Amino acid sequence: MTTRPRVPVLAPLRHRNYRLLFAAMVLDLFATGAWSIYLVLQALALNATATALSSVVAWTGIGLLVMSLVGGVVADRMPKKLILVSALAFNLATALVIAILSLTGSVQIWQLSVSALVMGATTAFYFPAYTALVPHVVPTDDLMAVNGLEGATRPTIQQALAPAAIGAIIGAVVPGAGAALIAAAFGLGLLCALALPTDAVDGGTERAHPLHDLVGGFRYAVRTPWILASVVFAAFMGLVVAGPIEVILPATIRNQHANGASAYGLLVAALGVGGLVGSLVAGSITMPRRYLTAMIGSWALGCLPLVLLAITSTLWIIGAALFIYGALIGTGMVIWGTLLQQRVPLDMLGRIASLDFLISIAFMPISIALVGVLSTYLSAGVLFSIAGLAPLALAVIVIVAAGLYRDEIANPLSDATPEQHPTN
C-alpha cells in the first residue's frame, strides 16, 4: 500500500507504471526538444542559407500537421504501448543514422530534412497515444495532478533543459555528439516504454474503417457542446494572441531597448515560469465544481494583462503581465487535459487528443502570418489590445451560448471512477 505524497502534484509518481510512462515522456521531450536545436546548429555547420535552414525546420511542422489526425485514429485502434515503442524506435533509428553521418562528415541538408519529417510524424503518433494511455495507469483522482505535473515538466525539459544541454554539448565537441546524446535519450525512453504492461484493445467486435473512425471523432467533437465550445475558443485565442506575442513583442522590445535580445529572453522566461507555477498550483488542487467556467475563464483572464503591453514599455510590468498570462493559461490547460481524460470515452480519447493537438499547432502560423499583414495597418498597441480584450468577450459568449454553466453542473466530476482505476 502506498501513501499519498505531501506534495499533491507528485501523487501520480507513487504508481510504478506511471513512473515508467512519465520517464519515457521526459526522455522523449528532452530528445525532441534537443533535436530542434541540433537541426539548426548542424545545418549552420553545413553553411546552410537562411532559405535552406527554414526548409529543414519546416519539415517538422509538416510531419506534425499531416499525421496528427491519423495518429489519433491509430491511438484508438491499437495498443498504446505499441505506438509509444514504435515511435521511440523510429526516432532512435533516425537519430543514430544522422549521428553516424554527422560524425563521419557525410551528413547533408536533405537528410536533415527527412529526419525532421520523421520526428514530426512520430510526435503526431506519440502524444495522442500517451494521452489515451494515462487513464489506464493512474486513478481518476490523480488526473489533475498528472496534468499539473506534466504541464510543469514539458516546458522545463523541452524548452529550457534540452536546448541548454544540446547547445553546450555541440559547442564543446561537434554537432554529431549532440545527435548521439539525443539517440541515447530516445534509447532510454524506449527501454522505459518496453517495461510498461501491454494495454488491451477491444477485439471482440469488428472495427469500422479507419476513415469512419476519423469522421466519428470529428462528429463527436462537433456534437459535444463543451468540446466544441472549448476548441473554438482556444482556436480563436490562438489566432489573436500567438502573433502579437511571437512577432510584435520581440520586434517592439528590440526597438525600444538597447539590450533588446537579453530583455526579450528574460520576458520569455517570465512567461515560462508563469506557466510552470500555474501548472503546479492547478495540479495540487481538486477539480473546480464550475470546471468549464474556470477553464475558459482562466484562459480569458490570462489574456487580459496583455493590454498592458499596449500602454507601457517598462520591462518589469511586461514581465509581470506575461507571468500572469502564462500562469492562467497553464491553469486552464491542466483542467482541459483532465477533462479530456475524464469525460471523453476512452475508446475515443486518442482522436480527440489529436484534434486538440492539431488545433494548438495549426493556428500559430496562421496568427503569425495574419499579424504580419495587419501590422501594416494597425499599431502594436491596437494588436495587443485586441489580444487582451477579445478573448474575454468571446469567453462570455461561449459560456452562455454553449450552456457550459449548465453542463458543468449537470455533469459533476467525481474524484474516483472505478472502471478507470489501474491495477499496478
What pLDDT digit, counting tens, does each position of 300-349 carry? 999 999 999 999 989 999 999 999 999 999 999 999 989 988 899 888 88
In a domain, 252, yes or no: yes
CB-based contact 275:153 (threshold 8 Å): no
* H runs (alpha helix) in 402-421: 404-410
* Domain final residue pick, 163, 194, 225: 194
What pLDDT digit, counting tens, does each position of 255-313 carry? 887 777 678 878 878 888 898 899 989 988 888 999 999 999 999 999 999 999 999 98
Concatenating the DSSP letter of every residue in 255-310 gives HH-TTHHHHHHHHHHHHHHHHHHHHHHHHTSPPPTTHHHHHHHHHHHHHGGGGHHH
Average pLDDT, the chain: 86
What is the Cβ-side half-sphere exposure of residue 254, based on CA atoms within 13 angstroms?
Answer: 7
* Domain final residue pick, 147, 167, 194: 194
Specify the DSSP element, H or E, that contains 228: helix 225-243
Phi-psi region of 339 (alpha: psi -120 to 50; beta: other; left: phi over 0): alpha
Q: Which residue has the higher pLDDT, 287 or 188?
A: 188
Say if residue 369 is in the same domain as residue 297. Answer: yes
Q: Measured between alpha carbons, how far is 366 from 363 in angstroms, rounded to an integer? A: 5
Q: Which residue has the higher pLDDT, 322 or 36?
A: 322
Looking at residue 415, its pLDDT comes to 46
In a domain, 13, yes or no: yes
Q: Measured between alpha carbons, how far is 327 from 272 in angstroms, rounded to an integer? A: 8
Q: Which candidate, 402, 381, 109, places its Cα nearest to that of 228?
A: 402
The domain of 282 spans 210-412
CB-based contact 137:17 (threshold 8 Å): yes
For residue 62, give the CATH number of its domain: 1.20.1250.20
Looking at residue 21, its pLDDT comes to 95
Does the pLDDT value for residue 414 go beyond 70?
A: no
- In three-state secondary structure terms, 150 is helix
In a domain, 422, yes or no: no
The pTM for the full model equals: 0.78
What pLDDT digit, counting tens, does each position of 46-88 carry? 888 767 777 787 788 888 888 888 888 898 888 999 999 999 9
Looking at residue 383, its pLDDT comes to 93
In a domain, 220, yes or no: yes
How many Cβ atoms from other residues are within 10 Å of residue 209's Cβ?
8
Q: Measured between alpha carbons, how far is 253 from 265 in angstroms, rounded to an integer? A: 10
In three state form, how does the secondary structure of 42-61 look?
HHHHCCCCHHHHHHHHHHHH
In a domain, 384, yes or no: yes
Question: At CA 225, angle to CA 143 and CA 325, rounded to 5?
Answer: 55
Say if residue 171 is in the same domain as residue 284. Answer: no
Say if residue 64 is in the same domain as residue 173. Answer: yes
Say if residue 111 is in the same domain as residue 154. Answer: yes
How many Cβ atoms from other residues are within 10 Å of residue 153's Cβ?
18
Kindly state the percentage of the chain with pLDDT values over 90.
Answer: 41
In a domain, 200, yes or no: no
Q: Measured between alpha carbons, how far is 317 from 339 in angstroms, rounded to an integer? A: 33
Say if residue 31 is in the same domain as residue 146. Answer: yes
Q: Measured between alpha carbons, how far is 303 from 210 in angstroms, rounded to an integer? A: 38
CB-based contact 413:322 (threshold 8 Å): no
What's the mean pLDDT in 106-125?
Answer: 93
What's the mean pLDDT in 23-33?
Answer: 93
Residue burial 293-325, b: 16+ Cβ < 10 Å; e: rest: bbbbbbbbbbbbbbbbbbeeeebeebbebbbbb
Say if residue 176 is in the same domain as residue 256. Answer: no
Say if residue 265 is in the same domain as residue 314. Answer: yes
Which of the given ranges, 112-126, 261-275, 410-424, has the highest pLDDT on average? 112-126
Say if residue 276 is in the same domain as residue 372. Answer: yes
Say if residue 65 is in the same domain as residue 151. Answer: yes
Question: What confidence category does residue 1 fall into, taking pLDDT thresholds of 50, 70 and 90?
Answer: very low
* Domain final residue pick, 170, 194, 218: 194
Looking at residue 49, its pLDDT comes to 78
Say if residue 15 is in the same domain as residue 43. Answer: yes
In a domain, 388, yes or no: yes
Looking at residue 423, its pLDDT comes to 39
Looking at residue 261, its pLDDT comes to 67
Kindly state the percentage of the chain with pLDDT values over 70.
Answer: 93
Looking at residue 404, its pLDDT comes to 93
* H runs (alpha helix) in 5-49: 16-45
Looking at residue 422, its pLDDT comes to 45
Say if residue 113 is in the same domain as residue 214. Answer: no
Say if residue 25 is in the same domain as residue 144. Answer: yes
Residue 134 DSSP code: H
Q: Domain count for the chain, please give it.
A: 2
In a domain, 90, yes or no: yes
